[in-house]
Amino acid sequence: MNNLRVSSSGIRGIVPDGLNINIASDFASAFSTYMGEGKRIGVAIDGRKSGFLLSDAVISSLSATGSNVVFYKVLPTPILQYLIKNRKVDAGISITGGHNPSNWNALLLLDEAGFYLNSIESNEVFNIYHSKEFNKVGWQRLGKIEYNNIDLKDYIKKISELVNFDIIRKRKFKIVFDLSNGAVSSVIGEIARHFKIEAIFLNDKTEGYFAHNPEPNPETSSQVSSILKNFSFDGGFVFNSDGSRVSIVDEKGEAFSEEYTLSIVSKAYLLKKKTPIITTVSTSKMIDFVAKEYEVSIFRTKVGQSQVTHTMEARESFLGGEGSGSVCVRDFSNGYDSILSFLLILEYMAEKDLSLSEIRKEIPEFFLLKYKVPVAPGKMYGAINHLKEVFKGEKIDLTDGILVERKTGWFNVRVSTTEFILRVIIEAEDKEKAFKIKDELDEKLWGIL
């Protein structure tokens, strides 16, 4: 099986069987050729074992193709996106497996504004990648390589202008953080100090060993939960490897579905500024209630940071995100920023003087069922097409895979852009109804997979 996955978010795979140093070298060369000579490209890794393996190949290739390199070592992708937006560097490559298991890694490409490349841009990069016609420069024009230890002052200053700095500090939060052995480990200490948060940090070593999959959800929140159940804290947050996603655990140790993150952050942000919300077809309907509460419109795109953030720009939205625990606030940066997300949640708690469990109650509860169906690469789209045929009489939406809307609930089945799986999300009034839909889907997919 081919362990390499390409998508508009970049190139991703198991190292070295799928993603290896030759591919990383060519892909970085293609991106550098696409950007044009003489740009400064920021490079970050997320603390996986294969990080330096790939960053060394990437740095060499960027330099050889005439791009200057600023290597930040371990740094969250959102901070790299912030640095690009604020012109510290011209573009970026974040080497991160995001929420994938530890043997995966990926090269994510960030454009001049810190966005994930859109599909047209990334097509062009792939054309260059496949043609192998890379820019070659002589020794005088070789890109310079700088090693930069990130200075967080500016980032923290800007974030403190967006969230209510004083109110958070005054509340003297006590929080448990689970960094999933990822990039947020490198910055969270300074941020916590700045906001006077009394903190416990779990899994904050970036040695490449993961205590659990770096995918924020109730399953991976168990360590945080067990602390919160036994000790008195205000809550907990679980991050993914590159700091693009975060999920919430309340003060009683109850782990929220990652779908809550977008809704709660949106409640916090919409207090400050009204803006249409951009999300995906695969995100819980909770967000529709938040939109209704604040009287803002909602628009749903295909799944993926590239889709959501570029649509935000096109539709002049400042708030967007996905049910995976990802939120972008575009007046801050053009990427999903989990650090900004958790600070907005703290601000909302302080402002409204509410606990996390009380905030959860403000949002109507549905039963959500999310699962993956492993599938051979060649059969993924066939399965979706089959379902389109099966459900064609119902109310369907084909923005991404197939979405079927019914009175008692809805479901979406789509091809993952990052793994060889179908992602299924079912949301219904109660558990029984959700599982009834699952049984129906299992039956329809049986035999064709």
Partner 1 sequence: MKSISDLKISISGIRGIVGKSFTPRLILDFTQAFSTYVGKGKIAVASDSRPTRDMVKHAVFSGLIATGNTPVDLGILPIPSFQVYVKYSRANGGIDITASHNPVEWNALKLVLKGGRFPFSFEAEEIIDIYQQGTFRKENTFPKKVYEEDAFEYHRKRLLSFADLDVIKEKKIKVVVESCNGAASPYVEEFLKKLGCDIIVINNDVNSPFPHSPEPLPENLKQLSDAVKKYGADIGFAQDADADRLAVVDEKGEPIGEEYTLALGILSYLRYKKISPIVVNLSTSRIIEDIGKEFNVKVFRSKIGEINVVEEMLTYDSFIGGEGNGGIIAKDVHLCRDSFTGMVLILELLAKTGKKVSELKSSFNQYFIKKEKIKVSLRQSLLIMEELKEKYKNEKLDFKDGIRIEAGEFWALIRPSNTEPVIRVFIEGKDKEHVESLFKEISDEIKRLRR
Task: Kindly state whether residue 49 participates in binding partner 1, applying the rule CB under 8 A.
Answer: yes
Applying CB under 8 A, among 61, 180, 181, 266 the residue interacting with partner 1 is 61
# chain residues binding partner 1, by CB under 8 A: 32
Task: Kindly state whether residue 142 participates in binding partner 1, applying the rule CB under 8 A.
Answer: yes
Give whole-number Cα distances, 135 to 22, 39, 105, 108, 392, in Å: 16, 13, 25, 20, 49
Applying CB under 8 A, among 4, 21, 296, 449 the residue interacting with partner 1 is 21
Q: Where are the alpha helices (DSSP H) in 37-102?
A: 51-64, 77-85
Cβ proximity to partner 1: between 71 and 342 the closer is 71
Applying CB under 8 A, among 33, 60, 81, 164 the residue interacting with partner 1 is 60
Applying CB under 8 A, among 7, 8, 26, 225 the residue interacting with partner 1 is 26
Shortest separation between residue 94's beta carbon and partner 1, angstroms: 17
Task: Kindly state whether residue 101 participates in binding partner 1, applying the rule CB under 8 A.
Answer: no
Cα gap 263→327, rounded to integer Å: 9
Buried b (16+ CB within 10 A) or exposed e, 14-40: bbbebbbbebbbbbbbbbbbbbeeebb
Task: Kindly state whether residue 169 participates in binding partner 1, applying the rule CB under 8 A.
Answer: no
Task: Kindly state whether residue 4 participates in binding partner 1, applying the rule CB under 8 A.
Answer: no
Task: Kindly state whether residue 64 participates in binding partner 1, applying the rule CB under 8 A.
Answer: yes
Shortest separation between residue 17's beta carbon and partner 1, angstroms: 8
Task: Kindly state whether residue 145 participates in binding partner 1, applying the rule CB under 8 A.
Answer: yes
Cβ proximity to partner 1: between 20 and 311 the closer is 20
Please list the helix, strand and coil fractions of the chain in percent, rounded to the nearest 5, in that order.
40, 25, 35
Contacts 24+ apart (CB under 8 A), 125-131: 125/27, 125/30, 125/31, 125/34, 126/6, 126/30, 128/30, 128/33, 128/34, 129/26, 129/27, 129/29, 129/30
Q: Which of residues 207-236 bind partner 1 (CB under 8 A)?
A: 208
Shortest separation between residue 142's beta carbon and partner 1, angstroms: 6
Query: What are the tokens at 97?
Result: 């497996």
Task: Kindly state whether residue 63 participates in binding partner 1, applying the rule CB under 8 A.
Answer: yes
Shortest separation between residue 154's beta carbon and partner 1, angstroms: 27
The residues pairing with 236 across neighbouring beta strands, listed in sequence order, are 176, 249
- Listed in sequence order, the residues at least 6 apart from 283 whose beta carbon sits closer than 8 Å to its beta carbon are 259, 262, 300, 321, 322, 323
Task: Kindly state whether residue 92 participates in binding partner 1, applying the rule CB under 8 A.
Answer: no
Task: Kindly state whether residue 54 participates in binding partner 1, applying the rule CB under 8 A.
Answer: yes
Residue written as token pair 């070789």:
142
Count of alpha carbons within 13 angstroms of residue 66, beta-carbon side: 14
Applying CB under 8 A, among 143, 253, 320, 323 the residue interacting with partner 1 is 143
The residues pairing with 412 across neighbouring beta strands, listed in sequence order, are 403, 425
Task: Kindly state whether residue 15 participates in binding partner 1, applying the rule CB under 8 A.
Answer: yes
Task: Kindly state whether residue 53 participates in binding partner 1, applying the rule CB under 8 A.
Answer: yes
The residues pairing with 319 across neighbouring beta strands, listed in sequence order, are 277, 329
> In this structure, what DSSP letter does residue 134 have?
-
Applying CB under 8 A, among 6, 137, 152, 200 the residue interacting with partner 1 is 137
Task: Kindly state whether residue 100 participates in binding partner 1, applying the rule CB under 8 A.
Answer: no
Shortest separation between residue 156's beta carbon and partner 1, angstroms: 29
Cβ proximity to partner 1: between 56 and 362 the closer is 56
Shortest separation between residue 137's beta carbon and partner 1, angstroms: 5
User: Phi then psi for 446, rounded to 5 degrees?
Assistant: -60, 130
Task: Kindly state whether residue 181 participates in binding partner 1, applying the rule CB under 8 A.
Answer: no
Applying CB under 8 A, among 4, 6, 37, 52 the residue interacting with partner 1 is 52
Cβ neighbour number for residue 399 with a 10 Å cutoff: 16
Among the listed ranges 44-52, 84-92, 366-374, 399-407, the one in contact with partner 1 (CB under 8 A) is 44-52
| 261 alpha carbon, distance to own chain's centre | 12
Applying CB under 8 A, among 19, 30, 35, 57 the residue interacting with partner 1 is 57
Dihedral (CA of 119, 298, 267, 225) sign: negative
Cβ proximity to partner 1: between 4 and 137 the closer is 137
Instruction: Name residue 403's amino acid.
Output: L
* Interface residues toward partner 1, by CB under 8 A: 15-16, 20-22, 24-26, 29, 49-50, 52-54, 56-57, 59-61, 63-64, 103, 136-143, 145, 208
